[in-house]
């Protein structure tokens, strides 16, 4: 009996640890985000103009007036800066998040908890916010130029030229103007978006109303998570745009006080509609493209192993 018990004890398999995810090229997130922004830049343009406008215009009014006065191509003003932002901000936040998840999995051997995932996503988002701050400044200024009087325009020829001019005319420190609210906004966006997206995906999967991994599944989950992320990030997003669009070095409390006095609390949610309209489809496009890029990497690896 003792011998049988010992044999059973030896034969009992050890619990399986969570498998270490395959390392993918660090730039995949930036490439996927750059592709997504090609479709959503006009809405981002409308959002930035609304955030910096003292007038109470709607998203449709901004888009219609821009097309009527400047042509359809004007909606893609600053697209090069937008791509540069994704190749700094999004590249960093995706790469850092994957690294943090891999590290946590290696340390614990188990899937990270929801709270740990939120913290990891927040830290990765903060890193992305810092990395993307210079490109964000150029993007805000290039998209806002047409709204300014001619004598107050920056007239950057492109994002690289804009970066050079900022350093030459305002000093290198100006590249990180608004880094505080931008970093906070990026951390809030990354954590709220990823955590709520995973939560809604799981809820929809268990509901049985959508097929797991289908486009409707991603669309519904991203619409819900986009609403949460947009609402949480709106105040920091508006303050970030106001600071970056300013030539002065006014503090956050000063800008906040002046805006609250002249525009009311509602200014903190200025541009919420175009932000939501941009974030929802961008999430769907970004995730789909990212998965396809990863599939391509897997296929390439499999072909190399066979050869």
Residues 6 or more apart in contact with residue 10 via CB below 8 angstroms: none
pLDDT beyond 80 at 300:
yes
Residue 276: closest CA among 241, 235, 240, 224: 224
Q: Contact 281/288 with Cβ under 8 angstroms?
A: no
SS3 assignment, position 51: helix
């769907």: which residue's tokens? 284
Record the pTM: 0.76
Report whether pLDDT(1) > 80.
no
Architecture of the 21-290 domain: Alpha/alpha barrel (1.50)
Structure tokens at 291: 């998965």
The most confident of the ranges 64-68, 124-128, 185-189, 247-251 is 124-128
pLDDT band at 52 (very low <50, low <70, confident <90, very high): low
Domain boundaries, the chain: 21-290
User: With bands split at pLDDT 50, 70 and 90, how would you rate the model's confidence at 286?
Assistant: confident
Confidence band for 21, pLDDT divided at 50, 70 and 90: low
pLDDT tier for residue 12 given thresholds of 50, 70 and 90: very low
Helix axes 91-108, 28-51, angle to 10 degrees: 130
* Alpha carbons 207 and 109: distance in angstroms, whole number: 29
- From CA 159, how far away is CA 138, in angstroms rounded? 6
Closest CA to 194 of 83, 271, 94: 94
* Gap between the Cα atoms of 190 and 197, Å rounded: 10
């Amino acid at each position: 009996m003792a011998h049988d018990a010992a044999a059973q004890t030896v034969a009992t398999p050890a619990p399986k640890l969570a498998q270490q995810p395959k390392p993918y090229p660090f730039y995949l997130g930036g490439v996927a985000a750059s592709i997504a922004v090609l479709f959503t830049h006009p809405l981002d343009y409308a959002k930035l103009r609304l955030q910096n406008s003292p007038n109470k215009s709607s998203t449709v009014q901004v888009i219609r007036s821009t097309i009527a006065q400047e042509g359809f191509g004007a909606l893609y003003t600053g697209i090069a800066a937008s791509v540069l932002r994704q190749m700094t901000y999004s590249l960093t936040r995706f790469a850092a998040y994957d690294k943090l998840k891999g590290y946590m999995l290696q340390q614990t051997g188990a899937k990270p908890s929801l709270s740990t995932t939120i913290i990891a996503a927040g830290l990765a988002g903060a890193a992305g916010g810092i990395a993307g701050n210079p490109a964000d400044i150029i993007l805000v200024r290039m998209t806002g130029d047409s709204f300014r009087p001619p004598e107050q325009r920056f007239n950057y020829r492109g994002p690289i030229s804009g970066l050079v001019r900022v350093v030459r005319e305002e000093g290198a420190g100006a590249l990180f103007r608004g880094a505080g609210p931008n970093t906070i906004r990026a951390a809030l966006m990354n954590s709220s978006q990823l955590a709520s997206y995973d939560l809604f995906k799981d809820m929809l999967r268990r509901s049985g109303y959508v097929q797991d991994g289908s486009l409707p599944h991603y669309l519904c989950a991203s619409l819900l998570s986009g609403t949460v992320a947009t609402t949480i990030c709106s105040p920091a997003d508006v303050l970030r745009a106001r600071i970056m669009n300013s030539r002065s070095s006014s503090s956050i409390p000063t800008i906040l006080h002046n805006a609250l006095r002249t525009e009311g609390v509602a200014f903190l949610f200025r541009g919420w509609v175009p932000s939501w309209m941009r974030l929802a489809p961008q999430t769907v496009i970004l995730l789909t493209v990212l998965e396809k890029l990863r599939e391509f990497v897997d296929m390439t690896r499999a072909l190399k192993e066979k050869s």
